[in-house]
Each structure stands twice: as C-alpha cells, then as structure tokens.
Amino acid sequence: MVRMSHKPFEPEDLYLHQKVTELDAAPDGQSVACTVRSVDRDNDDYLSCIWSVSLDGRRTQLTRGPGQDQSPRWSPDGSRLAFLSSRGGSPQVHLLPAAGGEAEPLSRLEGAVSDLRWTPDGKGLLVTSAVAVDPDWRGQRSNGRKPPRAKVQPMLAWKLPYKSDGPGYLLSREIHLFHLDAATGEPTQLTDGAFDVMAFDMAPNGRHIAFARTREGRFAHRTDLWVCDADGSRARRLTEDFATVMSPLWSPDGLSVAFCATGREGDAQVNLYVLEFGSGRVRRLGDADLQVSDPASVCWDAEAPALLFTRQHRGRHHVVRIPADGGPLEALAPGDRQLGAFAAASGSLFYAVEHPSQPSEVHACVPGRQGERQLSDFNPWWKERTPILAETWNFQVPDGRGGTETIEGWLLRAEGSKGPLPLLNDVHGGPASFALLDFDTNIYWHVLCARGWAVLALNAVGSASYGREFCDRLAGHWGEYDLPQHLAALRQLREEGVCDERIAIAGKSYGGYLSGWAIGHTQLFRAAVVMAPVGNIETHYGTSDGGYYADPTYMGTEHAFDRGLAKKLSPMEHVEKATTPTLFMQGADDERCPKCQSEELFVSLMCAGTTPAELVLYPGEDHHFLGEGAPSVREDAARRIIDWIGAHVGRAPAAPPAQPRENATQEG
C-alpha cells in the first residue's frame, strides 16, 4: 500500500515544479551555470533565472529577472557570464561579472537575439539575431529600403517553408550572424542573404566561422555546413549531401569541425560527423545506430581528440565519449533515465536528470575520480508526494512481417500498488522518437498513478534509439505494424494481472495519430484522448509546417507523395466506425499538426453516431501546449485528460454501428 504520509500528485503541482532547461560548465569544471524555469502563477507565464551550482553543492542565484534569463555562456577565462534576457523587451545579450554584481545589457539589436557564443579571445561574441525584411522583396536585398508599415501587411508565401510551429509566419524576417564587441556592444553584421543562420562556432585561432544555414530558393528546409572568414567574407559551402546539418563545433586544434546531421528529409535520427577542414573529407563517428539525443550537447574533450555527447539508446540517454578518429565508444554516465541538458569542462560532467521517480535536478560526475552526485535541490516538495515506481518491461509482440520480436516499455505505478489496475496506454510522438519521461509534459501520469492507475509508455516499432531497421520499418505502415504491438503488450499485462479491462489510450502528435487510428480499429479502449494528431495524412501534407517533406519519408515514398497510401493510412478513413468516447485536444495555433486535423476527426465522429466526443481548442497555443503552453492551459489539459478517462473507463464498450450513418441535412 502507498504510505499515507505522502500527498498524492495533483495537476496544480505544475506550479511548484522548477525545471533545469540549460547548462553551461565553467572553464575550470568546478561549477555549472543553469537556466531554471519556474511558473509565474499570477501572470500565467514563466520565469527563468540563472543559477550557479558547484561540485561541492553550493548554489548561487545569479539573476532574478524580471522576464526570462536564459542561454548562459561563460567567457573563455571564466571571468564573465553572457546570457540572453527579455527584461528590456526582446531577448538581448547581457553580461554579468563572475565575482558578482549587476548584469548589464550589451546588445541593442533591432531584432531578438536567438543564440550567442564568445569569441576565443573573449573580446567579442557571435550572436544570431532576427533581421526584418519585406516578403514582397522575395529574398532580394533591401538596398536601403525598410519594410513598409502599411495597415495591410499580407503574409506572402514565395518559398517553403513559409511558417513554423511556434514562430508562425517566417518570411518577414531572416536570422543572421553578428559580431558584438564585448566592451561596447557595437554590432557588425557578418551574413546577409535570403537564408537563416541556425548554429555557429568560431575557430580557436579566430580566423574562421563555421555555421549551419538554410538554403536559398524555392525550398529552404534543408541546411548545409558553411564556413566564412571572421569578418563574414569568403563564405563557402562545405556540405550539400545532408538534409539537416546542426551544431558545428571546431576542434581545439582548429583542424576539424564536428557536426550533427540527418541524411533524409524528415528524419529525426541524428548522427555525428567530423569534417577535416583542410581536405573537406567527412566521416561519420560510429555506425548509423549511434544517435545523438541533443545536438547542442556535443562538445570536444579537452583532454583528448574525442567528442562528448548524450546518446539516445533504447529509450534512454547516456553520456558517452567517442574518439574523433572513430575508435570505440565509451559510456561515461549510463543509466535507466533521460537527460534534459548536458555540459562538460575540464573532466567534469554535468547533466539534468529526467525520470518519473524524481524531479528535474542537476547531477555531476568526474569519470575516474568520483561517482555521480545530485548537486541541486530545486524541488524539495517532490519528497512529500506519492513515490512513483517506473519499471522497464519486455513484451513479445508481432513484428509486422509474420514473426515476433521483443520490445520495451515503461510501466509506471505508485510504489506498493497491486493489480489489476485501470491502465492508460500513453503513445509517444514522432513516430521516430520514444517515450519521453519529463514531468512537465506528463503531469497526468503522476496524478493517475497516485490515484491507483498504471501507465504504460511503450516503445513500439517505429521508435528511435532501437536501431535504424526498427525505426525505419514503420515507414508506409503507420498503424498497421505498431497498433498490434500495443494490443499484444496490453494483452500480456492483463494476463499477468497488472491491469483489467479498464484500459484507456492517449497520445499527442504521432501518439494522437495512433490513438485516432486505434479507436477506428478496436473496441478494446474504454476511453481515448487524441491530442494534436495527424488525423488526415493527405491534408497534413499541405497544411503542416513540415508535412511536404516529412510525410513522403514517413510514408516510405521519399521525394514523392502517395495520396492513395496517405488516405489508406489515415484515421479519417476509419473514425466513423469508432465507439470509444474520445476527447480531442489541440492548440488552436498549431502549425505542426494544424487544428483541422482534430476538427476533421471530431466532426466525422460526431456525425457518425452517438459516440461521446468533445473537442477542446486552446487559443494562442501551438503544438507544444501540453508541456510548454501557458501554465493555466497545462493545468486545464491535465485535468481534462484525467476527468475524461475517469468518467468513461468504467463503462462497458458500446456495440459498433451496423452501418455508417447517412449525412444529416444541414439546418439553418
């Protein structure tokens, strides 16, 4: 039995949780600067402040806002900390002495600053900032013109992508690279053109800048590795065979550039590469199954020609080292968990751990000298809540090709719980991802477990981190290969007495797709929550910010879109057969899986019969409403999920309709 001294988790616990979102290690490796996000309940918003956490456990709050302070970057000598702050409006660069004192603004750029890095000599910073352009120029240079301030400013689309989830319309600005003088803040623009600079790094000798940028022309979703001189001149492209290049990073000797990349459009499986600057030769480190979980986590090991990074492996994150010459991989910080951030310096490793049994906190280890230790305690309230047990379970399931295979999943329950319990089958997004364990997105998991439920987070076929073949096999077989694996896993849990027939399904993004697909193919689930789904692949192709290049890859018809297959594999084709009470939830400003995807499913289910259904749209929210939306939205969403499945999971399933209902005559 659960110990009664603990309070159960509740949705409003999201207002207490502080999340470590970024880390930057001091050059001496003795401390780390952390961005810590908390909730501003009065203003229904977030605050983020920067803390310093040392290896000896000392914690110092370096900034207190107002607004959001983020992206901390130590100067090369460790004497100053640069960071971005919105306290003056749009995010700009601020400087803070390491010895203490007040932060002072440095940059005064017209557009928001999105990223920053120190130059190797510490006398300047490289930053990326938005530059306003007139979309009617269609990528041509302004020649001194300023964007008009007319009352009517239409959103002209002249290339793809023209929108992105979160930022929205893209073609009224470009993202370019600037140099800032660290003493005066004087800016110098280094890049110009109809493209966006996505990431960058300066060579140790200060002579060259490597950067990843989008392409010019009709299709701008691909990114390549470029290099220019320190003043922005002589820009030239170094790669053109990758779909996406991310996070270039010069080696300490300046002879190589490490970078992360994907080979196919829409591919979410990221590999690590090294380019020899002199010859242009590119080689992959490890095989295709060695996947980087966070490109921003990659750093060079100062003690050897090797790279440190967080690897995604079997649904987990491990800190690993791999020699730059392609030697064997070494695991430095393994474990049954995931990591929200990582940084390293002078032999010290710092990382923010994410696991259902513990809150977001900073941990550290010094390989070969001391083991792992938790350094921070930003969430002491967690110790008062119901302890949650998260176990890895193996399931024997059909492989989609006539055989069977073993897959994994996380099973969550309150410590001491005994079955059979009601169970939520939560389906992860992607599909080329895996079950993510961060508390902020999955608050309802903890609440349900504290109320006597079990939660299954399965990594079925199509999931990343289990090898290329396992992930790629789902292409062209959405729903066909993975739903049977979910059903087999649930059957095993029922046979083993973990759960009973009170089973619900929920999921967002691809998880919303499979939840919507499931209710049209089985009456097993007593309740369903379909969030931000791909409901109609055919319309998703043209309405999503990335559907035009990602959907052909996921359908297994790369570079061509098979509308017949898209229609066949869409939940829309089967939703009218559903009898499962279904709640649809969506950010109204979602551009990844636009609201029409939920609306089509909801209207079709409503008109097909009497199956209970509701649609919830959150104004102003994008695809990430569940974990990053306004705090009030996140609380409301968690409550609605819990209330919906709680109200319906105890009822016997309805009989399937004998035949589709005739379309009703429109009134009015």
Q: Tell me the one-letter amino acid at 281.
A: R
Structurally, the chain folds into a number of domains equal to 3
Q: What is the CATH number of the domain that holds 633?
A: 3.40.50.1820
**391, 302: one domain:** no
pLDDT at 147 over 80: no
Domain finish residue from 345, 378, 411: 378
Please state, rounded to an integer, the average pLDDT across all residues of the chain. 95
Domain finish residue from 267, 302, 332: 332
**468, 392: one domain:** yes
Nearest-5° Cα angle at 583, 581 to 587: 165
**399, 515: one domain:** yes
Domain finish residue from 332, 347, 368: 332
Q: Tell me the one-letter amino acid at 205.
A: N
**598, 450: one domain:** yes
pLDDT band at 659 (very low <50, low <70, confident <90, very high): low
pLDDT at 8 over 80: yes
pLDDT at 255 over 70: yes
Examine residue 156 and state whether it is found in any structural domain, yes or no: no
- Among 41-50, 72-81, 92-101, name the one with the lowest average pLDDT: 92-101
DSSP readout, 352-418? EEEETTEEEEEEEEETTTEEEEE---S-GGGGGBPPEEEEEEEEEEE-SSSSEEEEEEEEEEETT--
Token pair of 48, please?
């983020």
Which 8-state DSSP code applies to residue 487?
A: H
Which residues, at least 6 apart from 235, have a Cβ–Cβ distance to it below 8 Å? 191, 226, 227, 228
Residues 314-371: pLDDT tens digits? 999 999 999 999 889 999 999 999 999 999 999 999 999 999 999 999 999 999 888 8
**78, 177: one domain:** no
Which residues, at least 6 apart from 473, have a Cβ–Cβ distance to it below 8 Å? 400, 461, 462, 481
Q: How far is CA 182 from CA 105, 106, 210, in A?
A: 11, 7, 20
Burial class (CB in 10 A: 0-12, 13-18, 19+), 401: exposed
Q: Summarize the confidence of residues 28-41 as an average pLDDT.
A: 97
Which residues, at least 6 apart from 212, have a Cβ–Cβ distance to it below 8 Å? 197, 198, 199, 200, 223, 224, 225, 226, 245, 246, 247, 248, 259
Token pair of 224, please?
């390549």
Q: What is the CATH number of the domain that holds 368?
A: 2.40.128
- Quick check: pTM over 0.75? yes
Residues 408-461: pLDDT tens digits? 999 999 999 998 999 999 999 999 999 999 999 999 999 999 999 999 999 999
Percent of the chain beyond pLDDT 90? 91
**363, 414: one domain:** no
Burial of 585-621, coded b for 16+ CB within 10 Å and e otherwise, reads bbbebbbbbbbebbbbbbebbeebbebbbebbbbeeb
Token pair of 142, please?
């302004």
Residues 496-524: pLDDT tens digits? 999 999 999 999 999 999 999 999 999 99
The residue whose two tokens read 């989830």 is 165
- The Cα–Cα gap between 447 and 439 comes to 11
pLDDT at 1 over 70: no
Residues 520-562: pLDDT tens digits? 999 999 999 999 999 999 999 999 999 999 999 999 998 899 9
- The Cα–Cα gap between 130 and 164 comes to 15
Sign of CA dihedral 236, 238, 240, 244: negative
- pLDDT of res. 303: 81
The residue range of the domain holding 26 is 18-105+337-378
- The Cα–Cα gap between 481 and 461 comes to 7
